[in-house]
Structure 1
């Protein structure tokens, strides 16, 4: 077997479903994608290690390495995709479709396609001139728990000097981003007949107090914290979902709200969690054990990078773009724990991520390929 063409790799990656979702009925194994990548990596002389994650069965990471020792460059990405709404797609999401100078498919830019780019780039470089290790990391469940990246960052023998995470940034280097927290705030009251309010505790009324305090916290976060690199320079708090009660003539016995928070670099997940717990504690002084605060997934910390790092400066030089800060989050804060300089930079536009008819603009293929090749050459090859 020889390495397939760029378009063939792209097509095979898209054709291997690997959806991850908090709804387990929608989730799939990513083993098909991992096996494809492992076979192609072996064709290029990489040693491959496939590891099954703890937790739900069928989730795998791939770590491939060519070259000895520590250091070098790791090229990282996730193999899973978000679920899709079939009624909103005009093409088969699992069949690479070329139309209007675009490549359509689920994962075309978020982010299975990145692996086709890096494998093609490596295949075109002279292996005899490789002077530093090249590593390829393919993870599971980025779109849900980031369990794959969280497992990798505990790898004691993994010590690359640099890492590029190929999320879609239109090849603009990203040196920092916000984190992400999804939190459920649950109020448990006492139900009863609405004709006698004193015999119950209305969870909706207690949630009104919670909501008032959350809106105060939202404003305090906006006033107190700011990082100028971000278009939205403050931490955000969004009241995203609420449900409670079952009938107009019953005292509501339970009410639950789901909120989204985006911590800035320098503001830890633990600090934000403490702020929420303080709100709950204040109200629980009046209504004992009525309010609980529950993480809906493992919180993702902010990614804190520097524009002064050698990798950022190289990426700016090669891409011709200044490094930026973004509001969405990636696996970078976990990968960074390996001690490597880390950036996020990959082909495709983030505007297409998680959208129906996700696509890669074909005119971006050659310039993106050139940048990726140059980043690998500059990090791992002698001239």
Structure 2
């Protein structure tokens, strides 16, 4: 590995702000990251397409391929980061800092660090003949709306079956991940009637109605956890978390409006759409009983639960190269989007998810060389003619 070149590439990616967020205050484009990757990949003899994401200014996906035919390998990653806690970093989030055998920087592990790893692996095959194509995917908005991954399907990616295998390079500590939970995020808004608190009959308390809704959701959660269990997860059941609640404006006024946001993390065998419909049916009963208006808004369309066959060729190859059995995780990735396009998929990359989404994010340098070896092994296995 050319350590200097690796560091330069990672520093260049970290330097480019590419935060994606549901908040307009934070949200920005990824197009500069995409163009930087495009330049590097074109220099390595890749055919590069930059595909704008409709409805999102300065946001795009990148598809870069080398080699022709069908049944190739995809190395996929997102180019955006989460927002950062300004003032809580020990260093500038946009300046790669080399300290304590770690590289610090926003996105260093989640997941800009995967791209220099992939490039270093590709450079080992500079003069090789590719029997099957190698495809690099770089997407937008994984950390917020998943608009990039959704756009890939709309843009016709893999309609010709050029890709058979895919590795999503999220930070897994170099352990192959064959299964993860899904996620959906919702907001409930209840509208009642304000009034003087001295007489409850003068209004209709939205906060009390929300109490009933939350009780109904907790019962629903219990039913889901009794019905769905998978021992492959550390938390073997689906989870539902009540994240924030707001309502009312004064102690002596009957609360007219109350809103609550929650997430639901399903396990394989469950459907986000089915869960959302079941929730709508349950809260409709509460709305009728309490004579209030209840609206359910989807904050994040969601990621479906993901599971790849542990006996698949890709999982077996990754386990052999990593010298580690495949595992399951609770967080969600773009893996199910690729799987739905008919591609065997797993999640595998350097760094730890424990370092993501927090101040002083870092990638341990000891992970880099083994990651390049593993990705090189996968390229050799699925793209290079075997003698």
Give the TM interval when normalised to the shorter protein.
Answer: over 0.9
Structure 2 partner of 1:100: 100
Which residue, out of 161, 171, 176, partners 1:173?
176
Q: Which is worse superposed, 166-175 or 283-292? A: 283-292
Structure 1 partner of 2:188: 185
Partner of 1:201: helix, strand, or coil?
coil
User: How has the CA–CA distance of structure 1 residues 54 and 317 changed in structure 2, closer, same or farther, with 3 Å as cutoff?
Assistant: same
Gaps of 5+ in 2: none
Partner of 2:45: helix, strand, or coil?
coil
Deviations 1:302-349 (A, max 9, x none): 112110110000000110010111100001111112101000000101
Partner of 2:49: helix, strand, or coil?
strand
Deviation, structure 1 residue 72: 0.6
Which residue, out of 249, 266, 271, partners 1:268?
271
Structure 2 partner of 1:249: 252
User: How has the CA–CA distance of structure 1 residues 135 and 95 changed in structure 2, closer, same or farther, with 3 Å as cutoff?
Assistant: same
Deviations 1:210-240 (A, max 9, x none): 1111111121122111012111110001111
Structure 2: distance between partners of 1:89 and 1:79? 21
Structure 1 partner of 2:73: 73
- Say yes or no: does 1:285 pair with 2:278: no
Which residue, out of 317, 329, 345, partners 1:314?
317
Deviation, structure 1 residue 288: 4.3
Structure 2: distance between partners of 1:138 and 1:358? 21
Structure 2 partner of 1:47: 47
Structure 2: distance between partners of 1:118 and 1:229? 29
Structure 2 partner of 1:335: 338
Structure 2: distance between partners of 1:310 and 1:38? 30
Partner of 1:123: helix, strand, or coil?
helix
Deviation, structure 1 residue 129: 2.7
Structure 2 partner of 1:86: 86
Structure 1: distance between partners of 2:128 and 2:84? 43
CA RMSD of aligned residues (A): 1.3
Structure 1 partner of 2:203: 200
- Say yes or no: does 1:364 pair with 2:374: no
Structure 2 partner of 1:128: 128
Structure 1: distance between partners of 2:43 and 2:248? 59
**Contact residue 44 and residue 126 of structure 2 kept, 8 A:** no
Deviations 1:156-202 (A, max 9, x none): 35230100000000111111110001111111101112123212110
TM-score (normalizing by structure 2): 0.96
Structure 1: distance between partners of 2:127 and 2:178? 29
Deviation, structure 1 residue 51: 1.1
Deviations 1:275-309 (A, max 9, x none): 21122111122234522221111121111211011
Structure 1: distance between partners of 2:176 and 2:315? 7
Which residue, out of 321, 328, 347, partners 1:344?
347
Q: Which is worse superposed, 30-39 or 123-132? A: 123-132
Deviation, structure 1 residue 12: 0.6
Gaps of 5+ in 1: none
Structure 2 partner of 1:220: 223
Runs of 4+ that moved beyond 6 A: none
